[in-house]
Amino acid sequence: MAQTSSMKLLGARNMSCIVERMEWNNKMDLIAYGTEKGEVVIQRLNWQKIVTFPTPGEDVRVRSLSWQMDETLLAVGYSNGKVALLDAESGTIISGLIYEDDIKKVYFSKAINSKENLGTYTCNVKDKHRKFLPKLQPMTNIDPCLKTLDQKSFPKGSPCFLVVIMRSGKVHLLLLGALQAGSIDLTQHILHPQEFDVYDVRMNGDCNAIYALLRDGQELILLHFQNQVLQDCMAPMLELATHCAHILETKNYINDTQQCLTEAWETVQLEMDNKLTRYANSQPYGVISAHFLELHVFGFATFEVEEFLFETLSEKGFKKIANSVDLSLSNLQSVVFKQLNGAAINMFYFLNTIAGFGRMSHFFESLISPDVANEAMRACGAFVLKVHELQRTIDTLAYDMKLFHAWMIFTILRLSHQEIPDDLVLTEEENIAMADFICAMEPELDDRSDDEDELDSQSETPPPARSKFNLERVGQYLDNAYLTQPYPRDPMQLWEEMVAENECLSHCKLFVPHDTNLSLVQQRDKMFNAIDAVFHKPTESISGSFKVSSTVICNDLPPMEPGEDLRDKDIVTCSYYVNEAARSDMLACTISGQEAMILEFSRAGDDSVRCTRITLEPGLFTTSVPEDFCYLRFVDLQFYNESSLSILAQSINAGPGVRPHSFFIQFSLTAALNYSTQHRMGPLVKLSETTMSQSIHDIVDGAAFKGLDGFSDMLAVSGSRKVATVLSDRKRKMTIFEMEIEEEEDDTEMSQASFLDISKESVLAGVPDAEKQEA
């Protein structure tokens, strides 16, 4: 018999655009929804907007939304294959992932509760690095939209999996949103890949198995995969994933720091380009060094040099340029020494820790290859050496430029017969250094053969620009190309001399290699590739451990017409809930327009599944059911909590000129227990042949109906927040209800009739004035 229950209307709004996805936060009064424009909006229960995240591109749609349990972190899947982790509290993008296929769904699993005993690994070193490593300096030169520092780290809140489901059938698991913890291709486990669609893939409550609900030909099936690596190595995986998250953050910091380096270097070049480089480009290659050397050694200035010094430049103008260049070089030194060097040391610490994990083969054998981890550590050490090499190069350039600026001012004053301060007079050592700098302003290019010159003349590609003032001594480190002027070997460094004389030392794995020909960008990429190789093994081990333990045939599906898109004829809607109290996993899905199936998989060790099959149609012995309740179809469903299922149904018999109406149904799972069947989980379970549908009208105290005006499209509920949101009127109207109203609150309780006649003021809230007048 149909029942009625108490619900209170909190408000209704006509939205400015179509809403395609919505999801409630289970702890806070926050609801996130995605619009047709690809935007993600987070607002409170009182309609106050907290933050709006813009679309990542044109014609990009929001495919899925999922809140991390008890946190303000939101995972968003887009149609262009991008997955973004958004922080509603700070309004920032924590991280982003790019896949090559359209996203079906993304979600956070429940919090991982790793059981520990005497034979398991214990995670007790979380964030211990903060005791040893100084905090990385903030980067003031980075665009705030691209800034990743000072954001909360990946392992925020309780540890959990981020699951990314692709429309192609591939499923990716990420632990803490950072560690690639395996993947699976569902198309490899079905019989009809041409007639395939994936509806949902969920991790079980113990996070060691997954359920995959999909279409295989004309059958709706559920595949149950078990994974031994996830079952045996969860604690070591959490440890590895924590360090992986720190490594990813450090990689982002290094990338941002190199962007700061590039910007600072471009500032140096811009200051030089104002007058000096412009003059240098107007002279033939080699002439500047000859003229300046003649001026420095003999004190004689050519006409071109005098014109440049007194007409183009002046003492005051050159001092301004010198101060700007010195300041820019000082900023460059600070970025390399404080930020880049600090990030490289942090990275070495994390990789050294992972290499130490690899020595504990009992726990990490299936997750870490010691040789690969050691190679990544050596690559990081090589990056540290390259950072120090760049630091020495910048220091040398800064010293040379200060000397050059002092000499230029001294020369201008001397040629103009002005008084020269004593601090501008160069010492003998500085004069020698100045001569060397002038000679190196325009370095000699490599000798080229006549054949190479002829080939270059026939080529359409212009030859590379020749250096002026030899600034590329620093700039070459920021290009993705080999160094044209490697850093000269210091004869006072005995280790460098020893390595040069003994080639075997450079190939020994006990020492960190130092490739003098690589640029900083190349050395960084080499380190990143070595780090990525470290995390290939856990992905391969977990992916190879997925085994199908059971195939459950739920129901038959209508045949697919040739060339038909399954998404245009989608009748399957599903919802998932982990019941911790009963140690079971609950899955509800529609199997036809008027039938649904609720499955409860036990995790208590008995390998059983409880099935409840319901239909919206009246049964053979159903009596006293209003006519409006008899002809309904499923629109959406979601678990309200472990004992209730919220259903959105639509009338299917509205006559011409009659406005269709919908129903919100609160279905009691406790009342339906007497109508369920118990099954053993085996290799093949045919529920379609061993179960029968029960009308929800015949389940005593089973269903509570509330009528809603118009056509409803989507449902979002939260049992912990006691709220329900209904999307209607072609996904443009959002209505929020408060659930579980006490019987004493008769003055606030709404009857069925009031739901069918929601006040015109609330419906038209937010509607333009012109439309209100028409109404």
CB 173 within 8 A of CB 183: yes
Mean pLDDT of 406-427: 81
Q: How far apart are CA 159 and CA 112, in angstroms?
A: 6
Q: How far apart are CA 210 and CA 545, in angstroms?
A: 12
pLDDT of 117 > 60? The answer is: no
Q: How far apart are CA 326 and CA 402, in angstroms?
A: 7
pLDDT in tens, 489-512: 777 777 777 877 787 877 777 788
Phi, psi of 738, deg, nearest 5: -95, 135
Which residue in 204, 231, 216 sits closest to 599, CA to CA?
204
What local confidence, expressed as pLDDT, does residue 742 receive?
Answer: 66
Phi, psi of 242, deg, nearest 5: -60, -45
What local confidence, expressed as pLDDT, does residue 610 receive?
Answer: 94
CA–CA distance from 276 to each of 299, 314, 395, 719 (Å)? 20, 12, 21, 70
Around Cβ 645, how many Cβ atoms within 10 Å?
Answer: 26
Q: How far apart are CA 393 and CA 488, in angstroms?
A: 10
**Which residues have CB under 8 Å from 221's CB, separation 6+?**
190, 213, 214, 215, 551, 552, 553, 554
Q: What spatial distance separates the first Cα and last Cα of the chain, rounded to whole Å?
A: 38
Around Cβ 511, how many Cβ atoms within 10 Å?
Answer: 13
pLDDT of 455 > 60? The answer is: no
pLDDT in tens, 125-146: 456 677 778 778 776 554 444 4
Token pair in block for residue 344: 């490289």
What local confidence, expressed as pLDDT, does residue 435 receive?
Answer: 85
Q: How far apart are CA 358 and CA 371, in angstroms?
A: 9
Q: How far apart are CA 599 and CA 112, in angstroms?
A: 22
How is residue 627 annotated by DSSP?
A: G
What local confidence, expressed as pLDDT, does residue 409 receive?
Answer: 81
Band the pLDDT of 608: cuts 50, 70, 90. very high
What local confidence, expressed as pLDDT, does residue 151 receive?
Answer: 40
What's the chain's length in residues?
A: 775
Token pair in block for residue 62: 């929001």
Q: How far apart are CA 588 and CA 608, in angstroms?
A: 16
Q: From its phi and psi, is residue 169 left (phi > 0), alpha (psi between -120 and 50) or beta? A: left
What local confidence, expressed as pLDDT, does residue 398 receive?
Answer: 84
pLDDT of 765 > 60? The answer is: no
**Which segment, 218-222, 317-321, 417-421, 754-758, is predicted with the most confidence on average?**
218-222
pLDDT in tens, 475-485: 888 889 998 88
Q: Is 134 exposed, middle or buried (0-12, 13-18, 19+ CB in 10 A)?
A: exposed
Find the helix or strand (DSSP H, E) in which 241 lies.
helix 234-274
Around Cβ 63, how many Cβ atoms within 10 Å?
Answer: 23
CB 573 within 8 A of CB 598: no
CB 696 within 8 A of CB 665: yes
What local confidence, expressed as pLDDT, does residue 123 receive?
Answer: 59
pLDDT in tens, 315-353: 677 777 777 777 878 878 888 888 888 899 999 999 999
What type of residue sits at position 756? Answer: L
Token pair in block for residue 474: 């620093």
Token pair in block for residue 164: 């990314």
pLDDT of 377 > 60? The answer is: yes
What type of residue sits at position 517? Answer: N
E-assigned strand segments in 131-259: 161-166, 170-175, 179-185, 196-203, 209-216, 219-227
Question: How would you list the strands of the sheet with 723-728, edge to edge?
Answer: 7-14, 733-739, 723-728, 712-718
pLDDT in tens, 578-594: 999 999 999 999 999 99
What local confidence, expressed as pLDDT, does residue 472 receive?
Answer: 67
Report the chain's mean pLDDT, rounded to a whole number. 82
Of the listed ranges 225-234, 409-418, 525-534, the one predicted with least confidence: 409-418
Band the pLDDT of 561: cuts 50, 70, 90. low
Q: Is the model's pTM score more than 0.85?
A: no
Q: How far apart are CA 750 and CA 761, in angstroms?
A: 16
